[in-house]
């Protein structure tokens, strides 16, 4: 049993399996396909009452909207519309008229300063280097103390 852990093939095969599993998790498409609409198509479908649910996500100067359309099969869609009063009024009016389930997602402020990012990514490595240097110096000092004196 100990011999298998000494083989490089064992460790290489573990790394290959982990890479394949990671690749499968990242690239496996679990979500259904979404139809990308233009804003004109979205407003016409909204006015006709073909939209059953909406999810609005404000992103800087646009709204990313996703939802479901009525039809033979409920179909998912996504659209990007400009952040404007017209868009909000049209969506709210249609939601009241056609009883559309509407969810508004307000993202938290996630913008972080570049300095904070640099510090949090490089500081651990700097601390590890300092610790390694201190351990190296301590090893030299201990060797000198243990050296016989003439």
| Tokens 């690239």 belong to residue | 27
Mention every residue, 6+ apart, whose C-beta is less than 8 A from residue 42: 65, 77, 79, 81
Give dist(CA 8, CA 67) in Å, integer: 51
Helix (H) or strand (E) holding 106: none
Report percent pLDDT > 90 for the chain: 11
Burial 34-53 (b: 16+ CB within 10 A, else e): eeebebeebbebbeeebbbe
> Tell me: the pLDDT tens digits for 92-141?
888 888 888 777 776 655 677 888 888 888 999 999 999 999 999 998 88
**Residue 1 confidence (pLDDT) above 80:** no
Phi, psi of 136 (to 5 degrees): -60, -45
Short-list 60, 65, 95, CA closest to 79: 65
> Tell me: the pLDDT tens digits for 51-75?
888 888 888 788 888 888 887 677 8
DSSP state of 49: T
**Residue 32 confidence (pLDDT) above 90:** no
pLDDT bracket for residue 4 (50, 70, 90) = low
Short-list 140, 73, 74, 65, CA closest to 105: 65
β partners of residue 67 = 54, 77
Q: Spell out the alpha helix ranges (H) of the chain.
A: 2-6, 8-27, 39-48, 85-98, 114-146
């Amino acid at each position: 049993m100990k011999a298998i852990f000494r083989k490089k093939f064992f460790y290489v095969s573990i790394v290959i399996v982990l890479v394949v599993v990671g690749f499968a998790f990242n690239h496996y498409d679990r979500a259904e396909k979404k139809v990308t609409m233009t804003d004109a198509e979205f407003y016409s479908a909204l006015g006709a009452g073909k939209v059953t649910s909406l999810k609005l996500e404000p992103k800087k100067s646009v709204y990313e909207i996703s939802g479901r359309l009525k039809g033979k099969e409920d179909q998912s869609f996504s659209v990007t519309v400009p952040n404007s009063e017209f868009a909000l009024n049209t969506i709210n009016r249609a939601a009241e008229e056609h009883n559309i389930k509407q969810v508004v997602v307000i993202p938290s402020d996630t913008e972080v300063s570049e300095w904070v990012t640099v510090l949090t990514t490089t500081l651990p490595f700097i601390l590890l280097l300092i610790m390694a240097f201190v351990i190296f110096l301590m090893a030299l000092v201990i060797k000198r103390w243990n050296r016989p004196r003439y």
